[in-house]
Structure 1
């Protein structure tokens, strides 16, 4: 079983950041912002031994950050497979790989951050850039 919490902590400790764009650069992953169909938020791809994360340029900056973290999760956890982050309004079933990438993204964005005294978990995760519908992946 994959220990996602440990993977995110190790990345943070090794590179001194939890910023998915900086981590992508450290891991030699090229991040491209392109105009994509509205239903596609982003995807990762390996091509000729190079790794790419493609993010829908039409998304808000905060959402792009989460998508980058999610796709980085696929690259770190699911070597050799290409993945697409599709809006949940489609009929695609969220499988094991998608759940793991969501968990990776949530834990990566929160690693190294501390809850302030009296701060609620929801407020903490929002401050870390975790979308409200992804909060369950923190637990």
Structure 2
């Protein structure tokens, strides 16, 4: 899937739910948000999306701060929207390249959801680090947003 397709999907979702808050959209989609048990948080990534018996779940690490939670919810929502039937935790054992592609797409989704299209104009002359700090996101998401705005026909294949 290319940046442009993901951008369009996120725009439709923002308009449909009149929100860019990932937790609001998660709840509207009847996805169950929950926290990992404290004793297994170190063994898992910051969050994960999966389905069980037809019910969609997003689990995140309870030790994350508010801004980290927001980023993680946005990323996992990306998996729920873009890869609704894929269990990346299991898939990683068999196809790391495909998992990396899905992770990149979920990051693009998160960047599109959390960062406005005017970001480069609003922060003209700022570094990616300064923008990230001001917007309470990771530098990685700022870079994904920049690429989304300026390389919209780029498609991830075997990106590592």
Q: TM-score range by the shorter chain?
A: 0.7 to 0.9
More helix by share: 2
Partner of 1:38: 42
More strand by share: 1
Partner of 2:106: 101
Superposed, 1:21-36 pairs within 5 Å as: 21-34=23-36, 35=38, 36=40
Q: Pick the structure with greater CA Rg.
A: 2
**1:108-139 deviation per Cα after TM superposition (whole angstroms, max 9, x unaligned):** 11147765375737344543332113322112
Partner of 2:17: 15
Superposed, 1:1-139 pairs within 5 Å as: 1-2=1-2, 3-34=5-36, 35=38, 36-40=40-44, 41-84=46-89, 95-111=100-116, 116=122, 118=124, 120=126, 122=128, 123-138=130-145, 139=147
User: TM-score if structure 2 supplies the norm length?
Assistant: 0.71
Counterpart-to-counterpart distance in 2, 1:131 and 1:121: 12
Structure 1: give runs of 5+ residues left out of the alignment. Answer: 85-91
Query: Are the aligned partners of 2:131 and 2:142 in contact in 1 as well (CA < 8 Å)?
Result: no
Structure 2: give runs of 5+ residues left out of the alignment. Answer: 90-95, 148-160
Instruction: Pick closer, same or farther for the CA change 1:116–1:73 going to 2, 3 Å.
Output: same
User: TM-score if structure 1 supplies the norm length?
Assistant: 0.81
Query: Are the aligned partners of 1:8 and 1:111 in contact in 2 as well (CA < 8 Å)?
Result: no
Corresponding pairs, count: 132
Partner of 1:89: none
RMSD, aligned CA: 2.3
